[in-house]
Amino acid sequence: MKVGVVTFPGTLDDRDAARAATHAGTTAVSLWHNDADLKGVDAVILPGGFSYGDYLRCGAISRFAPVMEKIIDAANGGMPLLGICNGFQVLCEAHLLPGALTRNHELHFLCRDQKLEITNNQTAWTSSYKVGQEIVIPLKNGEGSFQCDDATLAALEGEGRIVARYVGENPNGSRNKIAGITNERGNVVGLMPHPEHAIDPLTGPTADGLAFFTSVLNAMVK
Amino acid sequence: MALDTVAIAQANPDTTQPFAELGLKGDEYARIKEILGRRPTSSELAMYSVMWSEHCSYKSSKVHLKQFGEKAVKTDALLVGIGENAGVVDVGQGYAVTFKIESHNHPSFIEPYQGAATGIGGIVRDILTMGARPIAVMDPLRFGPADAADTRRVLPGIIAGVGGYGNCLGLPNIGGEVVFDETYIGNPLVNALCVGVMKHSDIKLAKAAGAGNLVVLYGAKTGGDGIGGVSVLASETFDATGPAKRPAVQVGDPFVEKVLIECSLEIFSEDLVVGIQDLGGAGLSCATSELASGGSGGMKVELDRVPLRDATLSPEEILMSESQERMCAIVEPKNIDRFLEICKKWDVTVTVIGEVTDGERLEITWHGELIVDVPPRTVAHEGPVYNRPLAKPEYVDRVNAEKISVPRPETAAQIKETVLKLAATPNLADKSWVTSQYDRYVQGNTIQSQPDDSGMVRIDEKTNLGVAIATDANANWSYLNPYEGAKLALAEAARNIATAGAKPLAVTNCLNFGSPEDPGVMWQFAESVRGLADGCLEMGLPVTGGNVSFYNQTGAVAILPTPVIGVLGVIDDVRTRTPMSFDRAGLELYLLGDTADDLAGSEWAYMHGQRGGKAPIADLQREMRLIDLLVVGRTSQIFTAAHDLSQGGLSATLTEMVLRHNIGAVIDIENVGTTLISESPGRVVVAVTPEKAAALKNLANKQQITITKIGTTGGTSLIINGADISLTELRKAHTETFSKLFG
């Protein structure tokens, strides 16, 4: 199974995402922002970073990259797509997911080991978790506060589309402590914290993040 | 201003020139005239003024720094030594590591965010220029008192700048220092370290060899920022009444630098450059003259080809501009098409601005008119050298004679109060408020970062080879005795990587001092360099490069002498490192090393307003035996944890150890009034399982290191000689300080 990892100019966690995908037993394929070809991949990860310097708004320029056109089509056709951090911001800008990520309420970049509760294991990226399972993975961003209007929030809550919530103190002011959400179909997931940095306790706080990548492998094998 | 050409300079030898405003002394100006056999053109004057500035020419420090070469140990580990952009060290398995530390002190005082950000940017480009992929940064910082109004102005901006730039480059920040002292008010120190890794065969040098090869400028366009930065900013003492100097601070764009890094690494991987230099201090003046003098000497540059952000810039301004995120490469004509293609892929602006010639002159034209015609070596390497007067300041003997008189913690109540006070004082308090603004995870190879003794990164995922780095300075000791202070800082940095089990390999330094025109400051500097050179020779560690920052003073008040020493070490398997703390009960705790009544320069003395006494004398032979013990203990897996003792002594070390994994300890020590607060060098606390205690004692005896059992781990308190300090209370004291101060 091939997982594409997109590199935009300014992407930082592409090698980490590829390492995590490889660790989980998939084959990582790098995709360049300027290519209009998905190289036959079965799933795609939009990794973290500061694509196009986060100029204008985080993710606002990346959504227009040539590779995104193909990715949006494929995602609308059901292909698993995970946006991590800056990738989540790109998914919101591309309207594959609702809402927006705004500046952290304390106005600082914040890097810390964050406890999350998995609240939906019916997506392509979370099926290896149990609902209610608590995991610790790194959170690191300046614009991670998830915001949306009341109707959208009600829909996300009502349809069980909140994939993960922050446990304990709200680190960034996200509505309802939302750390990650999914689309109606469950193939597109956006997540602010970084599971790719938690695949081995040697280099991360835990190995709790690996199951995001084994989940997609399971989803495809099914 | 009309264009000043070489022809005009020859025709009008007596034109008055603003050399003094550009920071040149009268005799320096005369020397330029002597070299050229005529007055310089205004462009040549601009080049000489920036390149002969203190910052670029090391004119006051050179006579002292040469000791690093003269006293150097013979080592095969050093692949590239002092003089290039950064030194390169062999770490085995075909890997080479390059690391360097630089200061960006003055710009960060004027414009904290941009000053600190471009400090990171500059050091990262130095590492990239060697052909290496940058893999981590560190930031030793020093500020005025934590509660001073100006500290509240500069600290948040500097932290945000270090984070804003480093995070956006995708470089993990793996450590540093945050130290407060009143002498740094008005002169905060922002030192930045970067480490990079490459294969031996990928090393690049700053030389322009081969007539007909092309001079290629790539990266950001040139703007009006940072003009004269080196001469005006870095080489003059701040004057409180002087004009605002903000236009001389550069403005950085980390996105451009990130793209420049990836673009350059792709260019290097295809071996498309003969030589390369980044544009930092002194901009194009530096890059062209250094590249030319690194080769055969001849180079022609058409300055009007340089892409500009501001079309009104004069040639003098273009030569002096310190616009960030620019690189200059020497490329063989056969490779230029591929070079341009890679730049196009990354959307990087690239322009061929000249070529290498077989002459010996650097010739620069502006729309066809010759405006610079100089021997490049006279600009880059043959600047003035000063043997500045130095004299031991009168304060030294006076403060050395002072006796320290501080409260000694003897009763349980006093012990508890002392531990809590030390845990909360800004110099020792938890620095998470700072480090949580830095990305420590990116690249996925970070093994250790703050608050560990050292930063450690894996460089090979298959073999688990890694490097560890620590930076240290103890300015209080350097103030009392700069010679010993430098040696002690070296020993501490080496010990800080050895506690994890890494073997020290090489040294870099950032020497922060007041004005070299003050004989007392110059003495502090000379003594520090002598101490560091002697120390490195004794420990068998080569100095791979460094940086000098003078003029860190406001009026007559200089900063404490602050030589920041960085030590890099190698560890063959990062999985076997010794962690800084214990995660379970039932372990035995031992203190390695001897404790004397060393309160001079200690944090406890500083908290009681005392700066006097005598600094400890470094015993580097014993330090080396302790390092051996720590490295051997790691490879034979004796330790469960090991943590250095430094500022705050045993009290601070135990605080950090018990809070790390929230496991308490029961401690029983003799002579508690000294043992708890003394800062005797060469000490480490180790935790071992009871089964390993005998092996530890054998190892200590073999290395002739004093070993004292001080307690066991477990419980929810730190209990010292019966004084019970709950971890909750200790954590509150340790962690509240920064958020209270800085919000």
CA atoms within 13 A on the CB side of B130: 32
* Domain A2-221 classification at class level: alpha beta
Rounded CA-CA distance B149/B170 in Å is 32
A108 in contact with B, Cβ within 8 Å: yes
Nearest of B634, B331, B401, B376 to residue B502 by alpha carbon: B634
User: Could A111 and B346 be called an inter-chain contact, meaning their C-beta atoms sit closer than 8 Å?
Assistant: no
Mean pLDDT, residues B88-98? 95
Mean pLDDT, residues A136-146? 97
Rounded CA-CA distance A18/B288 in Å is 40
Rounded CA-CA distance B704/B707 in Å is 9
Domain limits, chain A: 2-221
**What are the structure tokens assigned to B460, written together?**
């090979």
Residue B596 has φ and ψ, to the nearest 5°, of -110, 180
DSSP run (H or E) holding B447: strand B446-448
- Three-state DSSP at A188 gives strand
pLDDT at residue B230 greater than cutoff 50:
no
Rounded CA-CA distance B486/B472 in Å is 10
Mean pLDDT for all residues in chain B: 93
A47 in contact with B, Cβ within 8 Å: no
Question: Residues in chain B, how many?
Answer: 743
pLDDT at residue B238 greater than cutoff 50:
no
DSSP run (H or E) holding B278: strand B275-278
A208 in contact with B, Cβ within 8 Å: no
* Beta strand ranges found along B1-92 (DSSP E): 78-80, 87-92
Mean pLDDT, residues B286-303? 91
pLDDT at residue B242 greater than cutoff 90:
no
User: Could B255 and A13 be called an inter-chain contact, meaning their C-beta atoms sit closer than 8 Å?
Assistant: no
User: A202 to chain B nearest CA, in Å?
Assistant: 6
Please compute Rg for chain A using Cα positions.
Answer: 15
How do strand B723-726 and strand B717-720 relate by DSSP bridges?
antiparallel
* Chain B residues lying within 8 Å of A85, measured CB to CB: none
CA atoms within 13 A on the CB side of B105: 36
User: Could A111 and B436 be called an inter-chain contact, meaning their C-beta atoms sit closer than 8 Å?
Assistant: yes
Rounded CA-CA distance A19/A218 in Å is 18
* Chain B residues lying within 8 Å of A210, measured CB to CB: none
**What are the structure tokens assigned to A5, written together?**
């990892």
CA atoms within 13 A on the CB side of B585: 7
Instruction: Note whether B679 and B598 are within 8 A (CB).
Output: yes
Instruction: Note whether B700 and B686 are within 8 A (CB).
Output: no
**Model pTM score:** 0.94
Instruction: Note whether B374 and B361 are within 8 A (CB).
Output: yes
CA B730 to each of CA A210, B274, B426, B711, B727: distance values in angstroms, whole numbers, following the listed order: 35, 57, 14, 18, 5
- Three-state DSSP at B152 gives helix
Q: What pLDDT is attached to residue B708?
A: 98
Residue in the structure block whose two tokens are 């080592």: B75
Task: Assign B247 a pLDDT band (cuts: 50, 70, 90).
Answer: low
CA A102 to each of CA A115, A151, A188, B473, B672: distance values in angstroms, whole numbers, following the listed order: 20, 18, 20, 40, 52
The closest CB to that of B444, out of A53, A55, A197, belongs to A197
User: Could B443 and A53 be called an inter-chain contact, meaning their C-beta atoms sit closer than 8 Å?
Assistant: no
Instruction: Note whether A160 and A166 are within 8 A (CB).
Output: no
pLDDT at residue B7 greater than cutoff 60:
yes
Nearest of B699, B681, B498, B492 to residue B595 by alpha carbon: B681
Rounded CA-CA distance A186/A97 in Å is 11
Nearest of A32, A9, A27 to residue A18 by alpha carbon: A27
**What are the structure tokens assigned to B630, written together?**
């720590």
* Chain B residues lying within 8 Å of A53, measured CB to CB: 168, 253-256
Mean pLDDT, residues B566-591? 98
For the segment A59-73, what is each residue's pLDDT rounded down to a tens digit? 888 989 999 999 999
- Three-state DSSP at B401 gives helix
Task: Name which of A14, A199, A203 to mutate to probe chain B: the one with the most chain B Cβ atoms within 10 A of its Cβ.
Answer: A203
User: Could A112 and B436 be called an inter-chain contact, meaning their C-beta atoms sit closer than 8 Å?
Assistant: yes
Q: What pLDDT is attached to residue A132?
A: 97
CA atoms within 13 A on the CB side of B735: 13
SS3 content of chain B, % helix, strand, coil (to 5): 40, 25, 40
pLDDT at residue A13 greater than cutoff 70:
yes
Nearest of B528, B529, B525, B474 to residue B496 by alpha carbon: B474
User: Could B258 and A140 be called an inter-chain contact, meaning their C-beta atoms sit closer than 8 Å?
Assistant: no
B438 in contact with A, Cβ within 8 Å: yes
pLDDT at residue A56 greater than cutoff 90:
no
B104 catalytic per annotation: yes
Mean pLDDT, residues B110-117? 94
* Chain A residues lying within 8 Å of B461, measured CB to CB: 19
Share of chain B above pLDDT 90, in %: 85
* Chain B residues lying within 8 Å of A19, measured CB to CB: 444, 461
CA torsion angle B237 B243 B244 B247 (round to 10): -90
User: A11 to chain B nearest CA, in Å?
Assistant: 8
Instruction: Note whether A67 and A6 are within 8 A (CB).
Output: yes
A39 in contact with B, Cβ within 8 Å: no
User: How far from each other are the two terminal CA atoms of chain A, in whole angstroms?
Assistant: 12
* Chain B residues lying within 8 Å of A62, measured CB to CB: none
**What are the structure tokens assigned to B213, written together?**
């090869």
pLDDT at residue B233 greater than cutoff 70:
no
* Chain B residues lying within 8 Å of A10, measured CB to CB: 168, 255, 258-259
pLDDT at residue B161 greater than cutoff 60:
yes
Residue A166 has φ and ψ, to the nearest 5°, of -70, 140
**What are the structure tokens assigned to B407, written together?**
């409260």
User: Could B441 and A194 be called an inter-chain contact, meaning their C-beta atoms sit closer than 8 Å?
Assistant: yes
Q: What pLDDT is attached to residue B248?
A: 63
Query: Residues 151-180, chain B: which have Cβ within 8 Å of A?
Result: 160, 163-164, 167-170
- Angle (CA) B649-B650-B655 rounded to 5° is 105
- Three-state DSSP at B149 gives helix
Which residue is catalytic, options B64, B104, B106, B734?
Answer: B104
- Angle (CA) B428-B430-B432 rounded to 5° is 140
**What are the structure tokens assigned to B167, written together?**
């995070």
For the segment B44-69, what is each residue's pLDDT rounded down to a tens digit? 999 999 999 888 889 999 999 999 98
Q: What pLDDT is attached to residue B368?
A: 96
Q: What pLDDT is attached to residue B1?
A: 56
* Chain B residues lying within 8 Å of A110, measured CB to CB: 436-437
* Chain A residues lying within 8 Å of B342, measured CB to CB: none
How do strand B707-713 and strand B665-667 relate by DSSP bridges?
antiparallel
Which residue is catalytic, options A33, A58, A85, A143?
Answer: A85
Q: ipTM of this model?
A: 0.95
Q: What pLDDT is attached to residue A220?
A: 79
User: Could B441 and A12 be called an inter-chain contact, meaning their C-beta atoms sit closer than 8 Å?
Assistant: no
Nearest of B71, B259, B104, B251 to residue B188 by alpha carbon: B104
For the segment B335-347, what is each residue's pLDDT rounded down to a tens digit? 999 999 999 999 9
B503 in contact with A, Cβ within 8 Å: no
Q: Say which amino acid occupies B405.
A: S
B446 in contact with A, Cβ within 8 Å: yes
Mean pLDDT, residues B277-296? 89
Q: What pLDDT is attached to residue A193?
A: 98
Mean pLDDT, residues B100-129? 94
Q: Determine the residue of chain B that is closest to A23 in CA distance.
A: B461
Q: Determine the residue of chain A that is closest to B252 in CA distance.
A: A53
- The DSSP symbol for B305 reads G
Per-residue three-class SS string for B488-544: HHHHHHHHHHHCCCCEEEEEEEEEECCCCCCHHHHHHHHHHHHHHHHHHHHHCCCEE
Nearest of A54, A70, A66, A75 to residue A11 by alpha carbon: A54
Task: Assign B75 a pLDDT band (cuts: 50, 70, 90).
Answer: confident
The closest CB to that of A203, out of B170, B432, B446, belongs to B446
- The DSSP symbol for B346 reads T
B55 catalytic per annotation: yes
The closest CB to that of B442, out of A12, A53, A108, belongs to A12
Task: Name which of B259, B347, B439 to mutate to probe chain A: the one with the most chain A Cβ atoms within 10 A of its Cβ.
Answer: B439
Angle, helices B693-702/B620-635, rounded to nearest 10 degrees: 150
Rounded CA-CA distance B195/B458 in Å is 12
User: Could A9 and B346 be called an inter-chain contact, meaning their C-beta atoms sit closer than 8 Å?
Assistant: yes
